[in-house]
Every structure is written in structure tokens, then in C-alpha cells.
Structure 1
Amino acid sequence: MKIKSLWAALAGASILLAAPLHAETLPVSTMAPANTDDAIGIDVIMIDDFEGSAGPDLKYALMDRLAAVNVEQGPFFKIVPSDKAGSGSPGIRRGTLFGVAQVDVDEIELDPRIEKTCIEEKKDECVRYRTTEVACYAIVVSLNANVRMVAELGREERYSNGGERARRLEYCAGDDRPTVGEVGQSLLDGFAREVRMDFAPRMGSEQVRLLEKRKGLSKEDRATFKRALSLTKHDQIGACVLFDQLSQNNFDHQSVRFNSAVCRESEGDLRRALSDQKFIEGRHGGHSYVRTAIARLQATLAAQDQVGKHFPPDYILDEIWGVSEDDAGETTSLP
């Protein structure tokens, strides 16, 4: 199974037909690039043993997170325990992930909470109180973790992430005591999610609201513009056809140009959409919706570039990984 185009499922009219219908919006597919390029180009990640009291828990959290990263054609990585990695096929680009994780819990005594209880009333007013000191504490759960990945050839370090993450919880006598185990697991899961975001792009989708101002258009074009907005409720392809027609004679009209650019983005023509949005920014100023569109498009293009580098044009998943369609799983989604 050769990868011909990662974006075939994201571009074209199919996304317009499949997306949920919302008034005066169009659906666009988005991507967020990996925070680093450190794992781009690595086919197989071998997970070595992790040291420390929480090492095994972090190891399995990382395995679950990274194994779930998929694109339309199959897994972004193949994740295997290092003791089951085998020799592999020639040409496989491999990395080994290892590290250490320690969860510590400290309990600190805080100033007591003062509670006042009325013990004598006169004429519906409290005239005498009893004060009580209630013991209070803070529990600090800290995760000290370090994760590294080295490439198999040359053993050069490709990735390193470490440090302390902590969470402080306060309670007093009589309150439910915080569940320390759940807090520790939450810190481990958060760290694993952080590594996943460093390693691979994420895919998502948005409903982008269209502009509605028609001032400056001719009477006939205002009617067409209004009809195009109405069509977004049930015929988004037809709406984009009308916006494209309007843009030919109203090249400098902000609403027309913006809506046409969103149409191009929805159809997968991202570079032209980005060019149009930058034109609008230069001509009409950097409104928030234009800046948001530019940032969204730039992020998606950066993520596409990462995926293109990760999967070269002649990359063949079946021959290198033995990946079947049943193994492909779901496409990568935003966490």
C-alpha cells in the first residue's frame, strides 16, 4: 500500500458533503504541527524499561499515547517494547525511548481554619460565639520525570524532556482527603500527552464563520451574496461556487474575498487560501478573524510539511511494517 497523498481525505468536495451543517459557517480540516521535529522520520519507537517508582506507569502511558497516533494510511509510529523489537527490516528508521519517573508526596500543615459557631442569641442576633480551630493541610504530589530518545544508528540523542511537574491540593479536617493516586496518574498522563504532542502532528476540524457584510456590492451581487450565505445551511458546495463567481468581479471586497478564501481552505487549497487571507490583511487590516485564519492555515501547512518528511513519496507501509488496513486505526485527532 503506497502512500499517494495524505491529504486526499482532507481535500475536495467530500469534506463539504460530510460535514455537519451550520448556518453561515463552513467546515475546514485543521492540523497542529508537532512541537518538535525530533521524532519526524522515525518509523519504529522501541520502548525500553523506565526506572523509578513510577517508571513502569510512565512507560505504559507513553506506549498507549504514541501507539494511538494514526494517519489515514496507518500508524505514524510502530511502538514495540525493546525486548520484542527484533532485528527489523532494512531501511527501518528506529529510535529507542527510555527514562525515569518518580512520584513523591509531601504533606504540609497549614494555618488552621477558624470556624465561628453561635452559642447565644438575643432578639434574633448572635451575641456570643464559640471559635474552633480546624486543622488544615496541603498535599503536594510531584512527578520528577526524564524521557530521552536516541536513534539506533550512531546512538545520537534525538529527544530529551524532563523536569518536575507538581500539583498542590488543600483540605481540612472533615473534608474528603484528596486521592493521591489519581493525582499522580494525572501527572503521568499529562507528561505522556506532552511527549506525544512533541512527537507528531494532530488533526482536527473547525466550523469557520463567514462574513455577512454586503456594503459595496451591486444590487445583483448583494442578492447573490445573500443566496450564497443561505446555501451554507444545506449546500455548501453550491455556496462556494457562488462566492467564487462573486470574487471574480469583486476581487477587493473584504467579505467576498474572505468567504472565498474559507471555501478554498475547506476544499484543501490551503496555499491559495493563505495568499488570499494575507491579501485581506494587507488591504483591510489585521482583523482578529483574518489573523486567526492565517495562523490556522500556517499551522496546518507546517504539519503537512512534517508528515511529508515523515512519509517520503515512495514509502511503503506494507513492506516495511507489515501494516494491514485492520491495524490502521483511527486518524490522528487533537487531544
Structure 2
Amino acid sequence: MRFITASCAAMALCVAAPVLAEAVSFVAEAPAPARDVAMLRSLAIGRIGGQDGMQLSMAIERALARPGADGRPHFDVMAGRRGGEAADATLEGFISSDVQTTRVKLQRNRCIEGTESDCKKRGNVELDCRRRIIALRAELRVAGGDDGRVLWSEAMPQREQADHCPGDAAQMPGEEDRVRALIGTIANVVRDDLTPSAERVSIRFREGRKGMDKAIGDRFKANIRLTQRDLAASCAEFDAIDQALPNHPSVVFNRALCAEAADDLEAARDLYVAMQAIEPRAGDVREAIARVQNTMAARADAALREQQG
């Protein structure tokens, strides 16, 4: 689930809260893919052509108007031509739709000896079935400013196939319901592109003790358990263990994770970078560096947007 980015103070989510054994949870943020649009204050939903254009327009309005984690929408969302004149930018486009239903031969497991209530033998049989393909394609763009410069432009196709054979327990979903659902998916993708995100993640502490002597290993193991009872004390103990055994991969990673959970992002980034020098190919370290850098970038954008008013 994605949430609109907000400051830690506004979200009240950045206080670490362990949710799994030997893990810690916190909020990771990311800037919007369409940064030029995300930096705007207001956005009008203009005309979206096509048979389903109005439905898509309203779905996008609802998606963008949903409150973020701070309780507010990212944009001041406006509708129609009047809004387009006052807004910083306007979203517009076209949606095409196509629904095809055909007959197909498909294999299904059926009773081939006896009855369904008293079946002696089952097997695959070929049946005359119905296949429905719904294909939508939205072409959307955001143009802003007095010069109408295009800030974002995307093609967003959606396709769904459904089959139904005689004897299937479930009926084929209604066409209108599925078109509405696919339009909702497009609207959510638009929101994901145009707004920053924040989501709660849960990251496990490293538990590997290879290279530790017994005394340090026992101390480290006990401290891993402490993370779930007293995170602050456990993180201080990781620092102390690092003094006794410098540059051990598990200790360095856990110190970085502690800093990230405490929202000390610069310290977390530096420790993860140091960790990468120890284990250059570690996937969790690459992910952690990207996660911290994304959060820092999202907060920098939020601060700049606030300054610009």
C-alpha cells in the first residue's frame, strides 16, 4: 500500500515499532517518479476522451483526492475547464476500450465415470468454453504553466482475460464490473506516478555470528533478542560490540539498521556504505542504501515544495 509522503512529525510513524521477531519497522519514503508534477500544488482533471473517459476522469479525481499518511491529499484537485484555468497544471487524455468474446477449446478436470455426486473416475476433458478479453488503453498527459509545457505523458494499457467452461463453479465476472476495476487500476497507477510514496517496512536484523569468538557471539545473540524488548538499549549494545569487534558484517549492518529506524538517515547511509565495502554483492545492503537515499530525496522534495508555497 502506498501513501503520500509527509514529514515524520506529521505522520507520527517514524518511531520504530518492532513487529516481527528480530526485526524493526519504520516508514520508508520515495519521491514521485513524475517529480515535476509532484512539486506542483494544484492539479485539474481536464477532459479525457473516449467512451469510458468520464469514468476514468472521476476515478483519477478520487485517487488523487485520497488523504495521504498526513491526512491530506498531495494536490489541491480541481475538475473541468474552470479548474484548469486556476490550477498549476491539467491532466487530460483519451481512453479506448475493446471487449471481445470468443469460443475456445479448453481442458478441464471433470468426472468421466459416474456422476459429480458419486464420481468413480476423474480426468481432463476438452470442452467448448467462452473466453472474454477486455483491453483498455489510456493515453494521459499533464501540461502545466502558461506555456502548456508537457510535464508527464504515459500510455497505460490494461488487459484482462477470463475463461468460462460448462461446469465451472465460478461464473465469469460481470463485464461492467471488470471494466470499472481496470479503470480503477489505471487511476491508482496515475496516483503512484504523480505523488511521492511512504510505506511501513519491516527489516530483520542480521543474526550471523561467523568470525565471532564464543564470548562475543553469546553477547551478540543475547542482544538480538533484546531488540524486541528494548530497541534503544540493544542499538547501544551493537555500538559497544562494534568497539570490541570492528567491521563485523552483522554488527555493522545492525548498527546501520538501528540508525535508519531512529531516523538518523545520514548515519544510516554512511554505515550501509561502509557495509557495502565489506560485502560488495550483498543485495540487502544495496536495497538499504537505495531505501535511505529515496527517503532523503523525498524529504528534500517535500521541504522544497513547502518553501515554494
Supply the AA of the counterpart residue of 2:154: N
Q: Distance in 2 between matches of 1:69 and 1:281?
A: 37
Partners of 1:118 and 1:217 lie apart in 2 by 65
Kindly report which structure 2 residues correspond to 1:210-225, keeping only aligned pairs within 5 A, or say none.
Answer: 210-217=205-212, 221-225=216-220
2:68 equivalent among 43, 51, 70: 70
Deviations 1:41-92 (A, max 9, x none): 211011123221111110111011111253538432111113553975xxxx
Unmatched runs of 5 consecutive residues or more in structure 2:
1-5, 115-119
Q: Percent identity?
A: 27
CA distance in 1, matches of 2:156, 2:73: 29
Alignment partner of 1:180 is 2:178: no
Counterpart of 1:41, as a letter, is M
* 2:15 aligned counterpart, secondary structure: helix
In the aligned structure 2, how far is the partner of 1:25 from the partner of 1:147?
41
| One of 17, 21, 26 as aligned partner of 1:23 | 21
Residue by residue, what CA displacement relative to the aligned partner does 1:232-263 show, whole Å, maximum 9, x if unpaired?
A: 12211111121123334433111111110000
Partner of 2:290: 295
| Selected match of 1:136 from 110, 129, 142 | 129
Q: Secondary structure at the match of 2:192?
A: helix
Higher mean alpha-carbon deviation, 109-118 vs 192-201, is at 109-118
Distance 2:18 2:145 in 1: 45
Matched AA of 1:201: P
Structure 2 distance, partners of 1:49, 1:226, is 61
- Aligned to 1:75, the other structure's residue is in SS state coil
Higher relative contact order (CA 8 A, sep 6+): 1
Change (3 A) 1:10 1:221: farther
**2-side partners of 1:158 and 1:134: how far apart?**
51
Preserved contact between residue 207 and residue 250 of structure 2 (Cα < 8 Å) = yes
Deviation per residue, 1:97-134 (Å, 9 max, x gap):
11222322111222366988459xxxxx99xxxxx974
* Alignment coverage as a number of residue pairs: 294
Matches of 1:177 and 1:76, distance apart in 2: 37
Q: Which has the larger radius of gyration?
A: 1
Cα RMSD (Å) of the superposition? 3.2
Matches within 5 A, 1:30-109: 30-68=28-66, 70=68, 72=70, 74-83=72-81, 85=83, 94-109=88-103
Identify unmatched segments of 5+ residues in structure 1: 120-124, 127-131, 316-335
Residue 6 of structure 1 is matched in structure 2 by 7
| Normalised TM-score (structure 1) | 0.76
Distance 2:296 2:260 in 1: 11
Q: Which residue of 2 aligns with 1:331?
A: none
SS at match of 1:206: strand
Provide the C-alpha distance between the structure 2 equivalents of 1:59 and 1:228, rounded to a whole number of angstroms: 54
The 5 Å alignment of 1:169-208 reads 169-175=162-168, 176-208=171-203
Q: Distance in 1 between matches of 2:207 and 2:198?
A: 28
Q: Is the 8 A contact 2:19 2:202 kept in 1?
A: no
CA distance in 1 between partners of 2:235 and 2:106 (Å): 65
